[in-house]
Copies of this chain bind each other. A is one copy, B any other.
Amino acid sequence: MRIALAQLNPTIGALEQNLKKVKEYYQAGLEREADLVVFTELALPGYPPRDLLNYKGFLDKERSLITEELMPLTAKTGVPILIGANHRQGNRLYNAALLLENGAIKSTQLKTLLPYFDVFDETRYYTACQDRKIEMLGDIPTAVTVCEDIWNDMEYFSDPLYDIDPLEGLFAQGARLLINLSASPYHYGKHTLREDMLPYLAKKYNTAVIYLNQVGANDELVFDGSSLVYNNRGELLYRAPIDKEELFIVETEDLFKPASKIVSPDRDDIETIKQILEIGTRDYLSKTGFSKAVLGLSGGIDSAVVAALAAEALGPEKVLGILMPSPYSSRHSIEDALELAENLGISYRTIRIDEPFDTFINLLNKGEGPIMDLAEENLQARLRGLILMQVSNREGYLALVTGNKSELAVGYSTLYGDMAGGLAILADVRKMMVYDLAHHINDLHGKKVIPERVITKAPSAELRPDQKDEDSLPPYSLLDPILELYLEKNCSPSEIVAEGYDEETVKQVVRMVDVSEYKRRQAAAGLRITSNAFGVGRRMPMARGFEYF
């Protein structure tokens, strides 16, 4: 049997547009003489549709496109479609895989494990399947599963999240092939995990494995494609691209014999992160109707890395950097920002904020001149935010936020100032990893497109004379691991101290994180690269007590 698999990049909620793509790839499958064409989880709504699922009219439209457009195709051609779709039974909604064949729904496989943690809300919408059965695809008994259903092996995972493993029952029924329709967003380590766990399953059950993943980004989530095919020895036969739509073919006879050529495994590294951030940037702009981006260039490392990533993702001609020096900006920062813009080939403008700053100081300080308080630091940041938004609103650029995760975590940032913009590319990238990205970008270019001094100088917001980040924060080399423990590992402050960190520093950091929740509540969407990013996946109260625990 010849199976065509479509790794697609849907736009959330664009049912008709996604249908058009599904039909094109179905046609391409037919041209390649496929006996079956497979699509990902919730292929027409795109994943995650979130509260669109609360609209019965939306679900009705999805279903009518399936019955009126896709089912007739399978009648006409005789080639079935396996597709992820919403499926209602009475008042209950299921996340399902539908097998469309000869103009009808031949069978329905329902998702059993509904992720409810982190960015996932599936229990908000779906009922879990209680009854799993294998599917005959041609003459191959197949475990057709949806995403999470393969991620709960009781031996592989030391701490499985769910009480049941749907695979146990399916393989007890004699499945020889595992097909998984996924929409699985990236976080660091996922490639490594996936390419370790899937061959484990292949060997454990003596099954071939076809893992089909969504590709492309939706809001903060980047779906990393990289669909995979293993034979029943656990040998990797194929990996689809991380960042592109693709139709690929699997001959089932190849799945049950030794590989003629084994694809080497993939491991997450800094290049993976870079790719994910670029996909996220590209798709957020294209799916919100923007083609160009503007950002402030401070001469610091965060804006340098954001500019470099945006230039790579969108093309340098689509990126505008704006230098907005104040009286407190250093000469070297301006030089470095200009050199960066030249190196990247992006366009740039300089709009000094001295005049509006003076105007406001006159207005607000009653002619007394600056008093150099925190409010005036915020004022400078907000004047810059205002200029970026003016350019954004008037000229149609999306404003990129340049702050990193470490800053966002401890609130070392100004609401409506440097936090202003539509997308925060580095919102889940801790400062030390921003340095790694900078080095990696320069390595890839074979030259210092990010000027050396940008990387080596001490980080500074330059909002008052001789200011350094370390005046207000622990050094990033200490801050970042504490943040990782508190934010990504859910360690309590006392557990972090038990790891060997100074108690006062831990208390300081945790308190800074907790009291700046209100800023993050109003932050731009950030691209998720860890298992615990800010945004939809971390839900913390703002008005709360701050007690040590």
Q: Chain A interface (Cβ within 8 Å of chain B)?
A: 11-18, 46, 48-52, 54-58, 60-61, 91, 116-117, 121, 123-124, 159, 217-219, 283-284, 287-288, 351, 355-356, 359-360, 362-364, 373-375, 378-379, 382-383, 385-387, 389-390, 393-394, 415-416, 420, 422, 490-495, 518, 521-525, 536, 538-547, 549
How many copies of this chain does the complex contain?
A: 2
The listed residue (B117, B386, B541, B546) touching A50 by CB distance below 8 A is: B541
Contacting residue for A363 out of B15, B50, B356, B521, CB 8 A: B356
Please tell me which one of the listed residues B385, B491, B545 contacts residue A13 in the complex, with CB atoms under 8 A apart. Answer: B545
Is the Cβ of B543 less than 8 Å from the Cβ of A11? yes
Distance in angstroms from A348 CB to nearest chain B CB is 16
* The one of B379, B386, B415, B541 that contacts A360, using a Cβ cutoff of 8 Å: B386
Task: Give Cα distance in the complex from A536 to B521, angstroms.
Answer: 10
Identify which of A46, A217, A218, A542 gathers the most chain B CB atoms within 10 Å of its CB.
A542
Q: Contacts A13-B544, A416-B389 given: A493-B57 contact, CB under 8 Å?
A: yes
Chain B residues, CB < 8 A from A524? 521-522
Q: Measured between alpha carbons, how far is A378 from B284 in the docked complex, in Å?
A: 23
**By the criterion CB–CB under 8 Å, are B543 and A12 in contact?**
yes
Which of A49, A283, A356 has the largest count of B CB atoms less than 10 A from its CB? A356
Q: Which residue of B lies closest to A284 (CB)?
A: B543
Most B C-beta atoms less than 10 A away, residue of A60, A159, A541: A541
Of the residues B91, B379, B545, contact of A11 by C-beta under 8 Å = B545
Given contacts A60-B549, A416-B420, A490-B56, A390 and B379 within 8 Å (CB-CB): yes
Shortest distance from the beta carbon of A243 to any chain B beta carbon, whole Å: 16
Q: Which residues of B contact A386 (CB under 8 A)?
A: 360, 379, 382-383, 386, 416
The reply to whether A549 and B55 form a contact with Cβ atoms under 8 Å apart is yes
- Are A518 and B51 closer than 8 Å at their CB atoms? no
Residue in A58, A490, A544 whose Cβ sees the most chain B Cβ within 10 Å: A544
Q: Are B521 and A525 in contact (CB under 8 A)?
A: yes
A50 and B540: CB pair below 8 A?
yes
9 other A-B residue contacts (CB within 8 Å) besides A49-B541, A389-B415: A12-B545, A15-B545, A17-B547, A50-B539, A52-B541, A61-B547, A116-B124, A218-B543, A360-B386
Cβ–Cβ < 8 Å partners of A416 in chain B: 382, 385-386, 389, 416, 420
What are the residues of chain B within 8 A of A16 when measuring CB–CB?
545, 547
Q: How far is the CA of A218 from the CA of B387 in the complex (A)?
A: 35
**Nearest B residue to A536 by beta-carbon distance?**
B539
Within the assembled complex, what's the spacing in Å between the Cα atoms of A124 and B539?
A: 11
A416-B389, A522-B522, A547-B16 known; A355-B364 Cβ under 8 A: no
Contact B284 A14 (CB under 8 A): no
What B residues does A518 contact at CB under 8 A? 288, 422, 525
Q: How far is the CB of A161 from chain B (nearest CB, A)?
A: 9
Complex formed: what's the CA distance from A385 to B422 in Å?
18
In angstroms, Cα B58 to Cα A546, docked, is: 11
Q: Complex formed: what's the CA distance from A339 to B379 in Å? A: 30
Known A218-B541, A542-B219, A547-B15; contact A390-B61, beta-carbon cutoff 8 A: no
Chain B proximity of A537: nearest CB distance (Å): 9
